[in-house]
Structure 1
Amino acid sequence: MATVRKFLERTLRGTNLEIFKFGLYLSFPIGYMYYFGTNLENRFAVPGFWPTQDQSHKIPYDKDEIRAEIERHRERLRQTRQSDQNQGQGQSQSQSQESQQQ
C-alpha cells in the first residue's frame, strides 16, 4: 500500500493531477449514464412508422411495366386537366350570369 501511495504522490503532481481529475470528471457521469441510463430505443420507437414492402412504391423494371406506368400517369394527368377545365368553365359561367343579373 505504501508503494502505491508513493507512486501516486510522485506521478500525480501539477499537470498530471489536473489531467487525472479531468478524466474522472468526464468518466463518472458517462459511466453513471451508461449503468443507469434509460432505454431510449424502446421508449421512443414508433412501431409501424416505416411502410411495409406492400405499401411502398414498386419501381417498374420491364418495358411493359414502364409503359403501363407511363400510361397510368398520362391518364391521371388527363383527368386532372379535364377536371380543372370543367371547374374553370363553371366559374366563368357563374361570373357571366352574375354580370348579366347586375
Structure 2
Amino acid sequence: MSTDPLHALKVAFRTRMQGDADALEAATANAPDWKQIEMLVHGLAGSAGIFGEADVGTSARALDEAFGEKRRPSLEQVQTLIALVRTRTADHS
C-alpha cells in the first residue's frame, strides 16, 4: 500500500492518460480531427506535470504551443506523444 496521499489521484490520472492516448489514436486515424487532437493535447499539457509525468507534459506543451501559434504539429509528433504516454502508463502497470 502506498503512503503517498496523492496515490489514488495519480492512478486515476494514468488511467485518463491511457484514455487520452486511445482518443488521440482515433483522432489521427483517416482524416485527422485536429480540434479533438488540440483539445486532448491541451489537457495533457496542463495536467501531466502536476502528476509527475514531466516528459509527457513537455511533449504535450510543445504540441500545444504549435496550436497556440496557429500551426498544426505533424502527425508524427502526435504519434510520438501517444507512444510516450503508452510507455509511461505501461511503466506503472
Compare relative contact order (CA 8 Å, sep 6+) and give the higher one, 1 or 2. Answer: 2
Q: TM (normalized to structure 1)?
A: 0.25
Q: TM (normalized to structure 2)?
A: 0.28
Query: Which protein shows a greater Rg?
Result: 1
